[in-house]
Structure 1
């Protein structure tokens, strides 16, 4: 990617998405700042990013309504001539076993984790310009875990989307994924200090030995460095990098407790 590249991170106003946008902005990338309901957080983050002398375009789109994605993307391309990197980061993560999940819950997870990313990949490729796609997966998909069935099934489908897209989009577009493990720092960067302290207090209830084989959290900076690696290495496509401290090898104890 060149320094004037435009990057689109879905769910980019809060949590992991906001952190990635901050890092991309520091490296000189222009930002398409996607949000759905988080307009206040998006506007605040836009001001913060623009202070780094890069361009920021706000893009409101409801990924839980895939029928609107094509039109919303056309509107975006009227403002941004060329998106070089798409990070499918937006996610929902609710409780519900396979037998208890409601139709609305199932559809919402599929919309946000599979259908909308699928449509965004199609839209990006139609630019007919060089671009890359990186999906945010989950290291714990390596294990069978039923308490969040709609989430895990839709995310497993996204794994297949990554591989099939890598085949169909080659040779001009590379498609990869990263699979984070336990990321304690994935909290809203716009939170007040009080809420961050509360989040830390909740996080400390999980013993480090229960997190993964390396017995430590995964820093957000490690996620960004993995994305940088995939973006710069022109020989990698269809791969998922596990950024998880070994969680994919052995189901972490904390997963069995919630």
Structure 2
């Protein structure tokens, strides 16, 4: 791969599996050293770290619950402290709680907002103390923020829609420091939570223009573009990597 991110350091929250792992590996393939956070599965986080190290880059895994703001701040500061700098923050960790609105509990509401809204805000707040000119903040949202075609997504869609406001306003706020802020909204993506051969996959594919799921690497490629020098004049933008789901 190219070396567009040589000498850069990235932090990917929720980077032990799925889209997060693909993003961590793609950024490392472009030359970055990578810190990633995980909540439970140390083995899978270590596997991603080992793959990055095998490619000749530095990597660390940080256990951090994104529902805990102190843990989020500490993870950002640790990534900076151990890897020596921080150039790219990818807010990927997410809570995926679904159900009819009348059955969702306040605890589920609080968890969703804590992970999907507060954590990106807190991580960004911590990161801007370290990001240099040319730094990047990339938020990972969801196609459901723009087109919720199934019942039961009200809470999740609401939480991901909040990232649009954060991205636009923070992009404006940090533009004078040459730090860009963008939002990537994945569509149907082949992960453990939503496998391309799952029971509802046929219906879901039918909502896309291309007729198939994305691979996590497709989303990661867009993140890498935004993180690299070719993305330097894009900020406050939303990029839908959804196969035409929202078209």
TM-score bracket, normalised by the shorter chain, equals 0.7 to 0.9
Contact 2:79 2:86 (C-alpha < 8 Å) held by counterparts: no
1:149 deviates by 2.1
**Structure 1: 5+ residue stretches without partners:** 189-198, 250-258
- Give the match's secondary structure for 1:108: helix
Contact 1:141 1:248 (C-alpha < 8 Å) held by counterparts: no
Cα deviation digits, residues 103-135 of structure 1 (max 9, x gap): 111111111111111011111111152310111
Please provide the CA RMSD for this pair: 2.1
1:205 deviates by 4.9
**Structure 2 length normalisation: TM-score?**
0.88
**Structure 2: 5+ residue stretches without partners:** none
1:173 deviates by 0.9
Which of residues 207, 210, 219 is equivalent to 2:206?
210
**Structure 1 length normalisation: TM-score?**
0.84
Partner of residue 89, structure 1: 92
Partner of residue 143, structure 2: 139
Structure ID, larger Rg = 1
Deviates more, 1:92-101 or 1:47-56: 92-101
Cα deviation digits, residues 21-79 of structure 1 (max 9, x gap): 12222222111021111212111221222111110122121111124333343333321
- Give the match's secondary structure for 2:82: coil
Q: 1:245 to 1:3 in 2, by over 3 A?
A: same
Match status 1:42 vs 2:45:
yes
Q: 1:169 to 1:51 in 2, by over 3 A?
A: same
Match status 1:180 vs 2:173:
no
Partner of residue 238, structure 1: 236
